[in-house]
């Protein structure tokens, strides 16, 4: 069994150290026990086992069947602490042991359909988020709203003296942006919520964006279960955000015509937005969840759609903007993705297939995401075994939660290729990290795959900087020949979790990030005005381990219409 982390106070065990500095605590234990040794700890009265990164540990855990492990305990914590679902609604979720498959789990064959929220939710996610017309409509609405927002004054202003017919003559003056992340977050959030929830939510709650980000900032305190009397403002932020979603839902119910079948089946309409949100309203009625409980769970949906991809996409924008070479190559891929039917729009499918844009997307998630994966044994009769040969008995029954943080896998210096001469260590953003170039055997994301080629070349077993092409700046032609590589990264790159509970929103998230970056760079020049501040910026650890972390300070820039 995994070794226990020592503690001094029995009833506290490791709570204070873990809660105060989760990242530092894990790093300290890795030094104590080794990078590939799991360890058991006690936090807030519960037992946890830390699962190391790697295919034999975390990768193996994600490959396990839902019959062996599940994330139900983590879901219940999120519903209660993160989203604020009322206590009266929690049994709806807690009592459902039927699983999320169409066929109920053994012993639950007669379980009523209206008491299967996990299955209902999974079914709707697969139908409306995994692809097809519903996903295409969401992405199209995101791009439409995002583009419209960017082209509003002052960025989209016409030249001085421009008349009503001169709307194509945009101003070319630079606009100062004192905080690039705040600018990016504002536009992306509005467009993403518009695509998911429609325009009506902003009619009912015009200040919803401010409420949402106040709630997002409160989450680290809420999830640590700090008593309300010690953090009243944090709990108030959650209550305010839930109430805003509840008011939107109440207004939408009054306005929407559920007898209009065309509206019910539309891929997008302005009152509820995407089809997935209308499906969720039907589900809430079927399972008997309260208005507040329904609002809280839909707040969770909105949070999941924004909290990761907006900070992650900012890091992509920042590091592309810092490199004129990468900016030019990204623009070349964007220009090659302009729709054949409309010169002012993008072919999203083609855009999202471009090698460099894909690598930038993958690298942004590796660089910035510190998400949590939690699993529990599904049955006391099935102990969970992981590691080489399954030699670690990680948990028996539901006595311990298996927990991992994507940050450590994504920042494992023994795993990731650091580029020529170690130029791009794991704490650096490298746009080409996930690309393999046919003329460069040292390229690609994996250190192990490139070690042989880089240690047998040049004098004294070292690397000859002039021997392998690509030591200078890459070209558009190089990118066209490159291959995106993710094979072999399982257990180290998992920003969306994995296995049977893989994040269902990952398809929209990818399209959202790539499209947002493409639309901005297609229409605007972005210049970082304080390169020192940009290079010094780090992920804000206050958000560890809740997902993608924003920058820890302001980064000024200036933007102008191209």
In contact, 420 and 409? CB cutoff 8 Å: no
CA 333 to chain centre: 23
258 vs 4: CA distance, rounded Å: 56
Based on the number of CB atoms within 10 Å of its own CB, is 230 exposed (0-12), middle (13-18) or buried (19 or more)? exposed
Structure tokens belonging to residue 525? 């020049």
In degrees rounded to 5, what are phi and psi of residue 114? -75, -5
506 vs 496: CA distance, rounded Å: 7
Closest CA to 537 of 553, 521, 522: 553
Q: Tell me which residue has tokens 């700890």.
A: 41
Instruction: Give the count of beta carbons closer than 10 Å to the beta carbon of residue 300.
Output: 19
337 vs 357: CA distance, rounded Å: 11
Q: How many CA atoms lie within 13 A of 501 on its CB side?
A: 21
In contact, 88 and 447? CB cutoff 8 Å: no
Structure tokens belonging to residue 446? 């994996």
- Give whole-number Cα distances, 440 to 109, 255, 306, 414, 455, in Å: 56, 59, 37, 21, 14
Structure tokens belonging to residue 291? 């208005």
Look up residue 42 and give its DSSP letter: E
In degrees rounded to 5, what are phi and psi of residue 38? -70, 160
- The answer to whether 503 is a known ligand-binding residue is yes
Q: Helix, strand, or coil here: 434?
A: coil
Q: Tell me which residue has tokens 């170690």.
A: 422
- Give whole-number Cα distances, 28 to 18, 24, 166, 340, in Å: 11, 6, 62, 55
Structure tokens belonging to residue 469? 């092409």
Look up residue 373 and give its DSSP letter: E
Q: Where are the beta strands (DSSP E) in 258-331?
A: 268-269, 273-274
| Cα–Cα–Cα angle for 249, 250, 254, rounded to 5 degrees | 110
| Cα–Cα–Cα angle for 503, 289, 222, rounded to 5 degrees | 60
Structure tokens belonging to residue 30? 């890795």
First to last CA, the chain: 61
17 vs 50: CA distance, rounded Å: 15
187 vs 503: CA distance, rounded Å: 24
Annotated binding site for heme: 503
Q: Which residues belong to the annotated binding site?
A: 503
């Amino acid at each position: 069994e995994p070794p226990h982390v020592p503690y001094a106070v029995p009833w506290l065990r490791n709570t204070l150290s873990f809660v105060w500095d989760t990242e530092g605590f894990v790093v300290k234990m890795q030094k104590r026990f080794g990078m590939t040794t799991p360890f058991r700890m006690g936090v807030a009265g519960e037992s946890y086992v830390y699962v190391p990164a790697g295919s034999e540990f975390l990768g193996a855990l994600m490959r396990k069947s839902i019959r062996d492990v599940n994330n139900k305990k983590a879901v219940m914590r999120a519903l209660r602490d993160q989203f604020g679902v009322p206590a009266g609604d929690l049994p709806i979720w807690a009592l459902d042991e039927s699983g999320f498959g169409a066929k109920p789990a053994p012993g639950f064959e007669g379980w009523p359909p209206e008491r299967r929220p996990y299955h209902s939710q999974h079914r709707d996610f697969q139908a409306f988020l995994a692809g097809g017309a519903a996903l295409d409509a969401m992405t199209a609405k995101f791009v439409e709203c995002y583009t419209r927002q960017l082209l509003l004054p002052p960025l989209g202003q016409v030249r001085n003296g421009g008349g009503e017919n001169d709307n194509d003559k945009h101003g070319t003056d630079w606009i100062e942006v004192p905080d690039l992340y705040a600018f990016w977050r504002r536009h992306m959030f509005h467009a993403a919520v518009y695509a998911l929830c429609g325009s009506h939510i902003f009619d009912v709650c015009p200040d919803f964006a401010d409420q949402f980000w106040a709630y997002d900032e409160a989450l680290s305190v809420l999830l640590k279960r700090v008593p309300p009397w010690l953090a009243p403002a944090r709990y108030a932020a959650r209550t305010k955000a839930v109430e805003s979603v509840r008011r939107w839902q109440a207004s939408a119910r009054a306005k929407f015509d559920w007898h209009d079948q065309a509206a019910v089946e539309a891929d997008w309409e302005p009152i509820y937005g995407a089809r997935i949100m209308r499906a969720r309203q039907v589900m809430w009625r079927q399972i008997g969840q309260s208005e507040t409980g329904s609002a809280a769970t839909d707040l969770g949906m909105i949070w999941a759609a924004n909290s990761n991809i907006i900070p992650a996409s900012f890091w992509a924008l920042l590091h592309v903007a810092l490199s004129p070479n990468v900016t030019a190559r990204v623009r070349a891929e964007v220009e090659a993705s302009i729709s054949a039917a409309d010169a002012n729009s993008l072919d999203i499918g083609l855009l999202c297939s471009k090698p460099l844009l894909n690598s930038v997307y993958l690298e942004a998630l590796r660089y910035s995401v510190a998400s949590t994966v939690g699993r529990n044994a599904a049955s006391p009769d099935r102990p969970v075994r992981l590691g080489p040969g399954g030699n670690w008995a990680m948990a028996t029954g539901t006595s311990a939660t298996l927990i991992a943080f994507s940050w450590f896998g994504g920042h494992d210096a023994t795993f990731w290729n650091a580029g020529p001469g170690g130029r791009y260590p794991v704490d650096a953003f490298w746009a080409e990290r996930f690309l393999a170039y046919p003329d460069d055997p040292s390229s690609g994301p994996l250190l192990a795959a490139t070690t042989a080629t880089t240690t047998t070349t040049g004098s004294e077993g070292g690397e000859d900087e002039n021997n392998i092409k690509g030591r200078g700046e890459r070209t558009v032609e190089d990118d066209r020949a490159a291959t995106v590589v993710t094979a072999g990264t399982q257990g180290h790159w998992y920003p969306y979790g994995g296995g049977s509970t893989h994040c269902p929103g990952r398809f929209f998230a990818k399209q959202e990030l790539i499209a947002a970056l493409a639309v901005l760079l297609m229409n605007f020049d972005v210049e970082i005005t304080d390169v020192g501040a940009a290079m010094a910026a780090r992920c804000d650890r206050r958000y560890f381990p809740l997902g993608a972390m924003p920058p820890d300070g302001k980064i000024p820039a200036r933007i102008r219409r191209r």
